Amino acid sequence: MMAAKTAKKRSPLKSRADHSPNGRLVDLHAVKKIYRSSAGTFTALEGIDLQIASGEFVSIIGKSGSGKSTLINLISGIDQPTSGEIFVNNVPVHSLKEEQIAVWRGRSIGVIFQFFQLLPTLTAVENILLAMDYGNRYPVSERAEKAIHLLELVGMADWAHSLPGTLSGGQAQRVAIARSLANDPLLLAADEPTGNLDTKSADTVLELFDSLTREGKTILMVTHDMELARRAARTIRLSDGRILDQKVND
Amino acid sequence: MINIRWYKVLNDLAGNKTRTLLIVLSMAVGLFAVGVILSARSILSRGLAESFAAINPSTGVVRTGETFDEQFLASVRSMHDVQAADARRNLAARIEIAPDEWKNISIFVVPDYNEIQVNKIEPDTGAWPPPEREILIERAALQVIHAQVGDTVRIKLANDTIREMKISGTAYDPAQMPAQLDGTPYGYVSTETLDWLGESFGFNELYVIASNPEDEEWSRQVVNQVKDKAERIGLTIPMTMTAEPGQLPMDDILQAILALMGILGVLSLSLSVFLVVNTVSALLAQQKRQIGVMKAIGGSSLQLLGMYLVMVMAYGAFALLLAIPLGIYGARALSQSMAYYFNFDLASMDIPMQSIVLQGIVGLALPVIASLVPFISSLRISPAEAMSLYRTGKGRFGTNPVDRMISGRNLWFARDFPVRSFLLSLRNTFRSKGRLLLTLITLTLGSATFISVFSVRSSLTSTVDEMMKWFNFDVMITFGRSYRSEELQQLARQLPGVYETDTWQQLTVRRVRPDGSEGSMIYMFAPSPDSKLISSPGLAEGRWLLPSDQNAVVVSSALFIEEPDLKLGDNIVLKLYGDEFTFKIIGVSIGTSFGTIMYANYDYVSRITDRAGESDALMVSMSTHDPESVLSASSALERLYESNGLRVNTVDTMFVERAQAEAIFDTIVSLLLVMAVLMALVGGLGLMGTMSINVLERTREIGILRAIGAPNRGVAQVFIMEGIAIGLMSWLFGALLAVPMSGALNLAVGTSMMGTPLTYSYSVSGMLIWLVAVFFLSTLASYIPARNASRLTVREVLGYE
């Protein structure tokens, strides 16, 4: 409650820093999420406490309905908790309004979806540039060069002017990763990023994640595949909306 | 028990209330427009015929130079080929409508107002019949003389007697042209009042119904029989007139309006059809995924077809429930205002069944037919494809040259501008090409109609300009008889402010047809061909008079409506002062049918009529042309001639003539504007429907925009810009389509009113007004769905299916 009041006094969007003071980029306290529908109530998350340090690569694993997608959605501001507090880089995400969240997310979080979700009428590079236009982090004159650079980073520079419909699944996901990096976010939130890819493409995506982590990016990845989850530095296992255990991978 | 699939139909209708409302509204507006136009057209046509039949209309009029009595009337009534006859006294007088401003008025005198057999006059308000020494005014004429019932007005007679008379009521005389259209007011007095006015009683107008009133040719022959009979007893006949069967005097203009309404009815029907097709195909596109699911669980094509057809018909039925009563109300309101303007009563306001049936067909059958094509195309898609999650909205982009032109590297030059939202909007516009085409057709038709309506308005003004360009004078005075031209001009030049004068012969002539029958009255003006006060800036056909011309005439195009066998180059036999002369038509001017005009050479006409050096019309050009100075000069001229013992017949000022010509056209313009707004509304709602469906289809895309940081404004902007892009495209196509469309409307209006198309003038201002309107309309049409889209949360939209 106190946190919410504090958030109202200062603009939460201005609180961005490269690192939180205590080293924790993501900080969740007693986060609960209940869905209400005509069929009744469903508790998706039950009192989650979780911290993720800056530069960490964390995977969340669990069965279908365990609450893993809900958790990543709450952290990236795609959904709001029923109760509890969520701080990302000290920003009280739980108390932001939808409009504020969109702007904050555009600058602070890079979202990667299972089905890539590239805009089909924009070319690969334009998809990245659109995110840059919304984020408004870089001067307009620098955006095109940076966007091309990001495509080079994911090995897709040759397809910069291709429409998403002409790309394979793996290529589209690499472009989606480049787009998620458009505004140099603190955190990449990836929900089943390899769920729709063949093994080879999935490997490429994970290699990309590894290299991004080495460069200091914080990555939070949801998966149901234990093998993939082990590629992260830490794996959090969810079951019935609770954290079952956490394991640091070798 | 109802089969479960019908529950789905019900749930689809009730579950998405906004969509249902929007589809129903889109369809209802189109159906409303069709209903209003078709029903009003039918009410007016029927009302006009009924209203006219109720007065027992004459088929011919014979005006006599001298008065005649009851005995002659009785002899006409007893003629074998005359079904009925009646007579009146028509007294030409002047009425003071403002201090020292006089206007011509026709005062009718009827011995017994309750026993009129032909061209019945009905009581309207106040006293009935006209009390002694008081006057009744035709109800449409009060506005023309700027007076109210109860006012006292001054009437000046031909013998210069001036009497003050109280307006004790109004009468309804549909056989007369509405006063605001021809500028002549009508009054009604008793025989006692006539005596008080210093005139002895006697008739000078005979109204005849021929034994076979439906046969115009026969009516003409009967009128000629009556005329011969009158001439045999020594009466002179300055005018005879034969009416077209069952037609009120303003029939030409009303027919033009009805023709226009017919065209607009067809247009609104087409708009409505496209709107329905558009809405239904958009709806089906949205339901494609559900169709896939139902197919996957065993739904047969026939079962699915039945479900969706019922759903589509339900939308149509709801739209009809709204459109039919509103259409009836609108049609009645429109008919009433038109009937009021044209001064006739509508005996019945019954809505024709055909109009409702047509609305029903458009509302129920068309959506079903419209839904077949998109439905069959959605059936072709496999369930897996239809249910695929790997999609962000409908429509494939990048598969044709247009798409390729606006994507890829082609627009990379704009990389250093934050225009990605705009590119997104632009390309989204072309994404669902079928829907874009349907929306464009609907909006383009609306745009073209709107611009065409303005072009017809502009063409009407150009036509009036064209007509008035002929006259380089400010005042025209006609006299009771011919006077020496020199005397007329000398007197006028005495008045300060008079710049130039000219004198013409002005006479009424009639065509003598090859079969010996006579046509309607034609005003013949005979100026000198080198007169500076008349010019012929442009003729519809042929050429203007030359000094060397002898029996040449330039006729107004309206003559060809009455005498369709004539054309340029033909000879025409005219009766001038009782003698027949042959003239050759060498030119055709543009003119309305209210008072057909022709021009001939002064020298020739004055010679054949034995009036060389004499004139009965004076044209005056003033040094200043403002209405106030012209009006004051016209009054001064009238006083000047009267004080010199010259009998002034009429005094007309050109600015009043122009206002009258414009008044005739104003009705058409007002009606057109109502239609234009209705069309704009149909088009706008069509766009709103399309945009809403686009938003619904791209809900997932909105989620992506949100996920990558688009603020509310950013999301809304994408859809608003798409709406504007569609609006602007429709404007461009509409502006082009308006060229032939306004040409066709000009032809319809012009031919029925004047026998020739209007002077074509494309309305650039109409095009620009529509540009602004379409901009706002598109913004508004896409704003509401865009605002709704921007309110969706990311989780809602990414979870949306």
Task: Write the CATH number for A126.
Answer: 3.40.50.300
**pLDDT tens digits along B43-53:** 888 888 888 88
Q: Which residues of B touch A126 (CB under 8 A)?
A: 420, 423
In the predicted model, what is the mean pLDDT of residues A114-126?
84
Burial class, B481, CB count within 10 angstroms (exposed 0-12 / middle 13-18 / buried 19+): exposed
In the predicted model, what is the mean pLDDT of residues A123-129?
90
Long-range contacts, B731-735 (Cβ 8 Å, 24+): B731/B447, B731/B770, B731/B771, B731/B774, B733/B440, B733/B444, B733/B447, B733/B448, B734/B443, B734/B444, B734/B445, B734/B446, B734/B447, B734/B448, B734/B450, B734/B451, B734/B770, B735/B447, B735/B448, B735/B451, B735/B767, B735/B770
Q: What is the pLDDT of residue A18?
A: 47
Q: What is the pLDDT of residue B245?
A: 66
Closest CA of chain A from B32, distance in Å: 38
**pLDDT tens digits along B459-485:** 888 888 877 777 888 898 888 788 999
In the predicted model, what is the mean pLDDT of residues B673-688?
75
**pLDDT tens digits along B720-753:** 888 888 889 999 999 999 999 988 888 877 776 6
Q: For B85-98, give the DSSP string.
A: EEEEEEEEEEEEEE
Cβ-based neighbours of B443, under 8 Å, separated by 6 or more: B683, B686, B687, B726, B727, B730, B734, B774
In whole angstroms, what is the distance from residue B429 CA to residue B722 CA? 6
Q: What is the pLDDT of residue B391?
A: 47
Q: What is the pLDDT of residue A3?
A: 38
ipTM, 2 dp? 0.77
Q: Which residues of B touch A134 (CB under 8 A)?
A: 705, 708-711, 714
A106: containing domain: 54-80+94-248
In the predicted model, what is the mean pLDDT of residues B335-344?
85
Q: What is the pLDDT of residue B159?
A: 72
Q: What is the pLDDT of residue B254?
A: 73
Q: What is the pLDDT of residue B797?
A: 57
CA distances from A41 to A33, A38, B254, B330, B759 (A): 10, 8, 69, 52, 74
Residue entry with tokens 């002077």: B759
Q: What is the pLDDT of residue B382?
A: 63
**pLDDT tens digits along B547-560:** 888 899 999 887 88
In whole angstroms, what is the distance from residue A179 CA to residue A146 CA? 11
Q: What is the pLDDT of residue B137?
A: 94
pTM higher than the cut 0.80: no
In whole angstroms, what is the distance from residue B289 CA to residue B385 CA? 8
Q: Which residues of A touch B421 (CB under 8 A)?
A: 130, 133
Q: Which residue has the higher pLDDT, A16 or B49?
A: B49
In whole angstroms, what is the distance from residue B790 CA to residue A98 CA? 10
Burial class, A38, CB count within 10 angstroms (exposed 0-12 / middle 13-18 / buried 19+): exposed
Confidence of residue B434 (pLDDT cuts 50, 70, 90): confident
B795 vs A73, A105, A120: nearest CB: A73
Tally of structural domains, chain A: 1
Flag whether pLDDT at B168 surpasses 90.
yes
Q: What is the pLDDT of residue B704?
A: 80
Q: What is the pLDDT of residue A4?
A: 38
Report the range out of A69-78, B288-297, B418-427 with the highest average pLDDT. Answer: A69-78
Closest CA of chain B from A89, distance in Å: 17
Dihedral (C-alpha) B708, B711, B712, B714: value to the nearest 10 degrees? -80
Is the residue at A6 inside a domain?
no
A135 vs B393, B397, B709: nearest CB: B709
Nearest to B526 by CA among B627, B439, B619, B598: B598
Range of weakest confidence among B327-336, B594-603, B758-767: B594-603
A115 vs B390, B416, B714: nearest CB: B390
The gap from C-alpha B673 to its chain's centroid, in whole angstroms, comes to 10
Confidence of residue B206 (pLDDT cuts 50, 70, 90): very high
Per-residue HEC secondary structure of B361-384 comes to HHHHHHHHHHHHHHHHHHHHCCHH
Q: Which residues of B touch A99 (CB under 8 A)?
A: 711-712
Helix (H, G, I), strand (E, B) or coil at A217: coil
Q: Do A98 and B793 touch (CB under 8 A)?
A: yes
In whole angstroms, what is the distance from residue B772 CA to residue B472 CA? 38
Flag whether pLDDT at A13 surpasses 50.
no
In our burial notation (b when 16+ CB lie closer than 10 A, e otherwise), range B537-551 reads eebbbbebbeeebeb
**pLDDT tens digits along A151-200:** 998 889 999 998 888 898 889 988 998 999 899 898 999 988 888 778 88
Can you name the residues that pair with B500 across neighbouring β-strands? B621
**pLDDT tens digits along B151-164:** 999 998 877 788 99
Range of weakest confidence among B267-281, B507-521, B648-662: B267-281
Q: Which residues of A touch B709 (CB under 8 A)?
A: 102-103, 105-107, 131, 134-135, 183
Which of B388, B411, B427, B708 to probe the A interface (max A CBs under 10 A)? B708
Residue B509 has phi, psi (to 5 degrees) of -130, 165
Q: Do B712 and A141 touch (CB under 8 A)?
A: no
DSSP state of B552: E
Flag whether pLDDT at B593 surpasses 60.
no
Tokens, residue B71: 């005995």
Q: Is A24 an 8 Å CB contact of chain B?
A: no
Per-residue HEC secondary structure of B241-296 comes to EECCCCCCCCHHHHHHHHHHHHHHHHHHHHHHHHHHHHHHHHHHHHCHHHHHHHHH
Flag whether pLDDT at A237 surpasses 90.
yes
Q: Rounded to 5 degrees, what angle do the CA atoms A70, A72, A76 make?
A: 115
Residue entry with tokens 């209400």: A36
Find the helix packing angle between A169-180 and A140-153, rounded to 10°: 140
Q: Do A119 and B712 touch (CB under 8 A)?
A: no
In the predicted model, what is the mean pLDDT of residues B281-289?
71
Cβ pair B386, B295 in contact under 8 A: yes
In whole angstroms, what is the distance from residue A92 CA to residue A80 CA? 11
In our burial notation (b when 16+ CB lie closer than 10 A, e otherwise), range B775-785 reads eebbeebbbbb
Q: Do B417 and A99 touch (CB under 8 A)?
A: no
Q: What is the pLDDT of residue B390?
A: 42
**pLDDT tens digits along B503-525:** 988 888 888 888 777 777 788 88
Q: Is A168 an 8 Å CB contact of chain B?
A: no
- Report the Cα–Cα distance between both ends of chain B, in Å, rounded: 30
In whole angstroms, what is the distance from residue A70 CA to residue A50 CA? 14
Q: Which residues of A touch B431 (CB under 8 A)?
A: 120-121
In whole angstroms, what is the distance from residue A183 CA to residue A192 CA? 22
In the predicted model, what is the mean pLDDT of residues A27-53?
89
Helix (H, G, I), strand (E, B) or coil at A51: strand
- The number of CA neighbours under 13 Å toward the Cβ of B598 is 30
Name the average pLDDT for chain B: 82
In whole angstroms, what is the distance from residue B596 CA to residue B578 CA? 19
Q: Which residues of A touch B424 (CB under 8 A)?
A: 119, 121-122, 130
Q: According to DSSP H, which parts of B501-578 are helical? A: 559-562
Flag whether pLDDT at B688 surpasses 50.
yes
Q: What is the pLDDT of residue B746?
A: 85
Cβ pair B538, B614 in contact under 8 A: no
Flag whether pLDDT at B167 surpasses 80.
yes
Cβ pair B756, B252 in contact under 8 A: no
